[in-house]
Amino acid sequence: MHIKVLGPGCANCVNLEKNTRAALASLGMEASVEKVTDYADIAGYGIMRTPGLVVDEQVVLSGRVAKPAEIAQLLAGR
Partner 1 sequence: MSVTTRLGRPGLRLSLGVAGAAVAWVALYWVNEPFWTWLVGEAAGLDLESRLGSGVWFFFYDTIKIALLLTGIIFVVTVLRSFMSVERTRALLGGKREGVGNVLAALLGIVTPFCSCSAVPAFIGFVAAGVPLGVTMSSLIASPLINEVAIALLLGLFGPGPTLLYVAAGVSIAIVAGWVIGRLRLERWVEPFVFETRLRGQVIDSTAHLTWPDRVQLGIDEVGTILRKIWPYLLVGIGLGAVIHGWAPENFFATYAGRDNPFAVLIAVVVGVPLYSNAAGVLPLVDALHDKGLPMGTLLAFMMATVALSLPEMILLRRVLKPKLIATFVAVVAAGIIAVGYLFNAVLPV
What is the signed CA dihedral for 25, 26, 30, 33, rounded to 10 degrees? Answer: -60
- How many residues does this entry show for the chain? 78
Integer angstrom CA distances of residue 13 from 9, 28, 53: 6, 22, 9
Binding of partner 1 by 62 (CB under 8 A): yes
64 makes contact with partner 1 (CB under 8 A): yes
Contacting residue, 49, 56, 73, 76, with partner 1 by CB under 8 A: 49
Confirm or reject binding of residue 16 to partner 1 (CB under 8 A).
no
Does the annotation mark 72 as catalytic?
A: no
**Least CB distance from residue 41 to partner 1, whole Å?**
9
Residue 54 is among the residues annotated as catalytic for this protein: no
Fill in the amino acid letter for 70: E
